[in-house]
Structure 1
């Protein structure tokens, strides 16, 4: 199924694919460890300082600098790039909120990582002349109604307790991995491929971190 005709709809049980792709998740940049939603917009994401720590506590390696040449994106791939920006914003905003509620460093670390991820995607949006759906959106607010509904639902689920918040994090990262793998299908643009590959590795680290906390 082409990415422009998919929606990732998150439920308590996981992810159900249906309808229009642009309604996946997202991340806004209000982590105290970084510089806010507009940090480095249009700058080289390789210059971003990632949080201390590593995969075991939710940190991850920096997303590679965008040094590869641009390519050609189909309309579906342009839609997917905007959807990935909203996913990164959703993840950041959700984890930041959970970090404020629960004494778990994993949420702080992953939220800070998501800040750099969004910056990289924003750089690509600018490079390809695609409108940024996360621009000027306050924490917890999203341009796409389905993304807003997903954030509100996951926030409510994660408010039930620390384990519920970790499960919400697992849901987000599982959906993120599926979205990135789908976004990579038939993609030929070298710069977008490199960023997606970096984001995919990061999401796998984040998912593993949530799994470790839930297994304790």
Structure 2
């Protein structure tokens, strides 16, 4: 499955999930005493607990594949995020979805598929792994922002705010490591040498889903090398002829 496809599926599932939870919130708030959690709030906590585990697991896998310390550092940060959400689970006496802390094992099957897809893409090259990091953090940021807007509990908000700050820092770190967009040969500039390199890959609009790496022209991180990659690179870099 294309990386872009699972991200869209995740966002669609998340939107449906959030719409349903909003209805639950509205109905339950009429009857619950102050301080109690709605089913919607509980589901968000449990979802974010596994979402943080996904990030940790993916980064730990990349830390074993690549020498860049950024993956190990951010994986440790994600473990702290997991622990913070576990604290909420303990406080509100919820059932922890992390029944098995083994890497790649989740209660929610959506995360199982995400782990496989993300590791597959990130294993093609270190730049691809950085792009996976970006995708994970952007998704986390969106989900946390919605969770904060939907929560009426100061303790939960505080945890989410701290996670959001961390995710923004992680996103900045991965973005800085990618450097010049379009620089497939990693010489520090985006020029004709990069164009020659990616065209030699033979994967430009080849009709095969999710088969291209950053070195092979997938500059926007969707798994394929096509016109959108040129547009993305030209919008985000200066081409040196």
Q: Say whether 1:100 aligns with 2:64.
A: yes
TM-score by length of 1: 0.70
- The SS at the match of 1:12 is helix
Q: Which has the larger radius of gyration?
A: 2
Deviation at 1:184, TM superposition (A): 0.9
Whether contact under 8 Å (1:134, 1:142) holds in the other structure is yes
Contact 2:6 2:114 in 1 (8 A): no
Contact 1:73 1:187 in 2 (8 A): no
With CA pairs under 8 Å and 6+ residues apart, which has the higher RCO, 1 or 2? 1
User: CA 1:109 to 1:126, structure 2 compared with 1: closer, same or farther past 3 Å?
Assistant: same
From 132, 151, 171, the counterpart of 1:207? 171
Report the alpha carbon displacement of residue 136 of structure 1 after superposing the two structures with TM. 2.3
Question: Deviation per CA, 1:32-60, whole angstroms, max 9, x where unpaired?
Answer: xxxxxxxxxxxxxxxxxxxxxxxxxxxxx
Assess, with a 3 A threshold, how the Cα gap between structure 1 residues 164 and 142 changes in structure 2: closer, same or farther.
same
Residue 185 (structure 1) aligned with residue 149 (structure 2):
yes
2:12 to 15, 18, 26: 18
How far apart, in 1, do the equivalents of 2:171 and 2:156 lie? 22
Structure 1 residue 143, shift from structure 2 partner: 1.2
Give the 3-state SS of the residue equivalent to 2:7 in structure 1. strand
Post-superposition CA distance 1:94-135 (Å, at most 9, x none): 001100000111101000111111001001011112211113
Aligned residues: 161
Q: 2:145 & 2:60 partners in 1: Cα distance?
A: 25
Gaps of 5+ in 1: 1-9, 24-69
User: 1:77 matched to which residue of 2?
Assistant: 41
Q: Contact 1:85–1:118 at 8 Å: present in 2 too?
A: yes
- Cα distance in 1 for residues equivalent to 2:13 and 2:165: 27
